């Protein structure tokens, strides 16, 4: 999916900036930037969703004397 976004962004950049020097290289760099930001946005969204799905606090998960020190 990020590759598709990257290719589309590079194509649009090249179409909108035909007179720029090294347009292919600049389009590639621009498309990688945009793909990185989209990927980072997905990860941030996933963090929020996971944080909302966690219902119990760690203190509530500990029950009784099950958690005793074990010599290793």
Contact (CB, 8 A) for 10 and 28: yes
Angle 29-4-26 from CA coordinates, rounded to 5°: 15
Task: Tell me if 41 is assigned to some domain.
Answer: yes
pLDDT in tens, 4-54: 999 999 999 999 998 989 999 999 999 999 999 999 999 999 999 998 888
Residue 61 has pLDDT above 70, yes or no: no
pTM of the model as a whole: 0.66
DSSP state of 62: -
Count: domains in the chain: 1
For the beta carbon of residue 20, count every other beta carbon within 10 angstroms: 13
Residue 66 has pLDDT above 60, yes or no: no
**Segments forming the whole domain that contains residue 1:** 1-60
Task: Tell me if 46 is assigned to some domain.
Answer: yes
Please indicate whether residue 48 or residue 59 has the higher confidence score (pLDDT): 48
For the beta carbon of residue 39, count every other beta carbon within 10 angstroms: 13
Task: Tell me if 69 is assigned to some domain.
Answer: no
CA pair distance 44, 64, nearest whole angstrom: 36
Task: Tell me if 67 is assigned to some domain.
Answer: no
Task: Tell me if 21 is assigned to some domain.
Answer: yes
């Amino acid at each position: 999916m990020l590759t598709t976004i990257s290719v589309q962004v590079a194509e649009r950049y090249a179409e909108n900036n035909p007179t720029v020097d090294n347009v292919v290289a600049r389009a590639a760099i621009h498309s990688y930037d945009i793909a990185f930001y989209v990927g980072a946005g997905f990860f941030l969204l996933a963090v929020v969703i996971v944080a909302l799905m966690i219902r119990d606090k760690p203190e509530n998960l500990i029950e009784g004397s099950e958690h005793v020190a074990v010599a290793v």
